[in-house]
Structures are given as C-alpha cells and as structure tokens.
Amino acid sequence: MVPEGSTQSHSSLVLKGFAARHQHLAGGKRQITAFHVPGDFMDLHSFLLKKMEDGVGALTPCTVAAVPHSDLREITKNYPYLTRVLWLTTLIDAAVHRTWIMTLGRMDARNRVAHFLCEMHDRLEAVGLTKDHGYDLRITQEELGDAFGLTTVHVNRILQELRGDGLITSRGKSVVINDWERLQKEGQYNPDYLHLSQQIERD
C-alpha cells in the first residue's frame, strides 16, 4: 500500500480492513510498529515528511480513502477546526507509539499480549466493530510476533494460557474477552492514552 522509502502525494484513511505499519532490517526481518483499523489515517505524517522511512501493508482486503496532500494543504489554510482534528490524530498516534515502547521495554510477553487485546477492543469499539466484548482480530500470530518481538510459537503459547485461565475465548479470527477486569489488570491497561473521549472545540 505504501512502500518503505517512498514519497507520497496523498494520505490514506482506512475505511474497511486492517493494515500494519512496518520497517524491514537488511536481513529481511520485519518490525510492525502500528496496526491500523477503520477510522485510522495510516500515513498522515507523509503530508509533511518528504520521504516515508516506514511502509504500510494491508493485512486483509482494505478499502481506503485517498486524500491528496493538495487538499490537506487547503484544509490547513482555510479550516482551523479540521486542522486541529488532523493534529489530534497525529498526537494520538504518537501516544500509542509511546505506550507500545513502554510495553515492549518493561512488560513481559504475556502482559504485552493482554495489553494489546484490551487496546484493540477499545479501538474497535470506538468504530462500532465489537459486540459483547467480542471482535474480529484480523491479525495473524506471526504478525503479532513481529509487533512484539516474539516467535509465533511464543504468541500461540500465550494465547493458550489466556484461554486456559478463562480470560479470553478465541476461535479463528474471533476474540471474546471473558473477564475484562482481569485481562485489563494482566496487561496493566489504562485506555487514557487513546484519548477516546477527546473533543475538539469548533470555531
């Protein structure tokens, strides 16, 4: 969708599907640095950055709305309210990245996965894609491993543990959180960094 090292003339808003932001090392190993769900601008930073150091790939069939950078320039010139909305989007992206750095650096693998399952629930709930604490997680165990520095075997073992402890039920791509409070505690999850209730005042 967006090659690493490319120059973009537009930014893309995810309307349907899952995508991931990533970078590759010289040996081919991949680090996933963000997962994008419907409602996310997956490369808004390309509006001001001349070159994308990372790339974005679709994890499922995706529908996106491409917003030309020329249109974004007009928005920032003429619509202060929308400019603040776009700015807020980038600030929340940065907050999510800071939280991911914290989980990668200071949490064990089980805590990381528990935290992530809580985060994805809240992000998908915000766009109407959850039901009864359940959601479709269109992300493979390999992709989770590439995000959290774990092998596929390790990810699988953690998910089995969470199922065995009654925290979640998962079948295929479906995840149901059976005990929200315990999973939240397991992942030391506090959703404040998502700023889901943040409002922007109109002019």
130-139, pLDDT tens digit by residue?
Answer: 999 999 999 9
101-110, pLDDT tens digit by residue?
Answer: 999 999 999 9
The lowest-confidence range among 21-25, 177-181, 183-187 is 21-25
Residue 200 pLDDT:
80
How many domains does the chain divide into?
2
Average pLDDT over residues 42-62: 92
Average pLDDT over residues 46-64: 92
| Boundary of a domain, candidates 16, 48, 68 | 68
| Boundary of a domain, candidates 47, 68, 89 | 68
pLDDT at 199 over 90: no
Expressed as residue numbers, the domain containing 55 is 1-68
Q: For residue 39, give the CATH number of its domain.
A: 2.60.120.10
What the block records as the tokens of 146 is: 């590439």
pLDDT bucket at 53, cuts 50 / 70 / 90? confident
pLDDT at 155 over 80: yes
